[in-house]
Amino acid sequence: MIESEGVIKYRLEFEHAGATDEDLQELNVWRSILYNLGLIGQHPELYGGYAYGNVSQRSRSNPEHFIISASQTGQIPDLEQQHYVTVESTDIEHNLLHARGPLQPSSEALTHAAIYRLNPGIRCVLHAHEPKLWHYGLQHGLPSTDPSIAYGTPEMADAILQLYRSGQLDQQQVLVMAGHQDGVISFGNTIDDAGCAMLDLWMQAQMELLAAD
């Protein structure tokens, strides 16, 4: 079964707090690019009308934490500090997440956590939804998680770990979630690296479409 966006599946321990003072400017610039390409957004006819796509960066003040766009912010063109929330700890195996901020974290926060856990050098994770990228990735054998695996589950975290260990994510830090309609993820050791990995895939898919015309 292919599922889409919106439903939070983890148990959330949430502390209501003010906005983070972390510098999110670069992340916001990249998010704007993805939003303008339609890789993040909201459409009444897509994914049950839920907003889709989310971005995060590892905290500079505490590398154990990461800062992620809040749940259902995909439709907002430009995010501000109050649209982000800090994830302070996660227990992926038990689907538990502790977060602090003005709004609750994205439903995909556990998947972001699974990627940060792969390597302390990873600074940024971007999650987008786009049918062209998704189909392109699947057709061209990009690293992908199994169609039976739903987003935001311990199984997804494990599948990502297996992909990483297999070396499939060494070259291009992009993966396709075959069981999450149109879902793709990029990550990198800098925010730019994660953004460029996503744009690279977008370019490849675009070029193929033009060539097919």
Binding site for Zn ion (CB under 5 A): 5, 183
> What's the rounded Cα separation, in Å, for the pair 47 and 54?
14
Tell me the closest approach of the beta carbon of residue 183 to Zn ion, in angstroms.
4
Q: Which is nearer to Zn ion, 67 or 126 (CB)?
A: 126
Tell me the closest approach of the beta carbon of residue 73 to Zn ion, in angstroms.
13
Q: Which is nearer to Zn ion, 62 or 148 (CB)?
A: 148
Tell me the closest approach of the beta carbon of residue 5 to Zn ion, in angstroms.
5
Q: Which is nearer to Zn ion, 6 or 102 (CB)?
A: 6
Q: Which is nearer to Zn ion, 22 or 69 (CB)?
A: 69
Tell me the closest approach of the beta carbon of residue 33 to Zn ion, in angstroms.
18
What residue number has its CB nearest to Zn ion? 183
